[in-house]
Amino acid sequence: MIIVTGGAGFIGANIVKGLNQRGRTDILVVDDLTEGTKFTNLAEVEIQDYLDKNEFLHRIKNNDSFGQEIEAIFHEGACSTTTEWNGRFMMENNYEYSKSLLHYCLGRGVNFLYASSAAVYGDGKIFKEERSYEKPLNVYGYSKFLFDQYVRRIMPQSRSQIVGFRYFNVYGPHESHKGSMASVAYHLHQQLPKTHIVKLFEGCDGYGNGEQRRDFVFIDDVVNVNLWFMDHPKKSGIFNVGTGASQSFNDVAKSVIAWHGKGEIEYIPFPDHLKGRYQSFTQADISLLTQAGYKEPFSTVEQGVKAYLDRISR
């Protein structure tokens, strides 16, 4: 059996779909369906069972076997709202929950693959998996950073696989439930049919209008990385998951406009509440990932946005 926490969410649901495409349906999905619209992500995949995240944590703390051998746990469940400033909630949900699950896996020899985030790097210019480059700007990033630090101390003694994935700007199908936290590609695709206009922020931090740059990574590539590590259980570590090449928000907007065959870009004032808390540039250093043996190419924004919009418009 494979367990996917956050399996009704964006990345989790796509991992479940990727496992299905391999013929795997012996999957236990763990999530919180208080936000019930996420059920639609599960309706498109095949799973063995579903469990609420609180009940799952209770059973983890009781060292429950779940009735069968667990091959791997993909831990994608977290509060990923970067604007959430309730630190107690964030640390309990993202940090303490993850520690409990990690120790369960260590005790049973279960491979543990978990979601970290590029938010650990803050507004730095170098995005390399080293402590000197890590300085989160918000409590979400701190919760991910602190768990990575915890993992680093434990990993040398672990007899089973531990892999952390520092996701950069992921976009693709099954993200609509995320609301304001959904990708810019999703939001621009929603805007354009209504007004024939897509809106981007004016320039900041020395970048021109819409020229802030991010490492935008298509969800299919993220799933491929996760499943590659599942196939290579001797590989452990914390790895950036991005394309290794930044592209501008203008590139995303132009790709959405090209898909629709119409539209214009409008630049709006940069929000005051984001000043000093915004990553104007991200670009994953993926040298550790390639050194581990992962060699598959990543989609460009132009390729990924087209594949994304083609898929959700069928």
Q: What does the pLDDT look like over 135-191, one tens digit per residue?
A: 998 899 999 999 999 999 999 999 999 999 999 999 999 998 888 888 999 999 999
Q: Do 160 and 43 fall into the same domain?
A: yes
Q: Do 119 and 252 fall into the same domain?
A: no
Range of 17's domain? 2-171+218-243+284-297
Q: Is the pLDDT of residue 112 over 90?
A: yes
CA distance 80 to 153: 24
Q: Do 109 and 181 fall into the same domain?
A: no
Split into its structural domains, the chain has a count of 2
Q: pLDDT value at position 84?
A: 63
Q: pLDDT value at position 145?
A: 96
CA distance 305 to 65: 41
Q: pLDDT value at position 116?
A: 97
**Least confident segment among 11-25, 72-86, 199-213, 222-236:** 72-86
CATH of the domain at 206: 3.90.25.10
50 is catalytic: no
Q: Do 185 and 257 fall into the same domain?
A: yes
The DSSP bridge pattern shows strands 247-248 and 213-214 to be antiparallel
* Contact predicate 196/268, CB 8 Å: no
| Active-site position among 97, 104, 114, 140 | 140
Q: pLDDT value at position 132?
A: 96
144 is catalytic: no
This prediction's pTM: 0.94
Q: Do 147 and 16 fall into the same domain?
A: yes
| Active-site position among 178, 199, 235, 306 | 178
Q: Do 22 and 147 fall into the same domain?
A: yes
Q: Is the pLDDT of residue 129 over 70?
A: yes
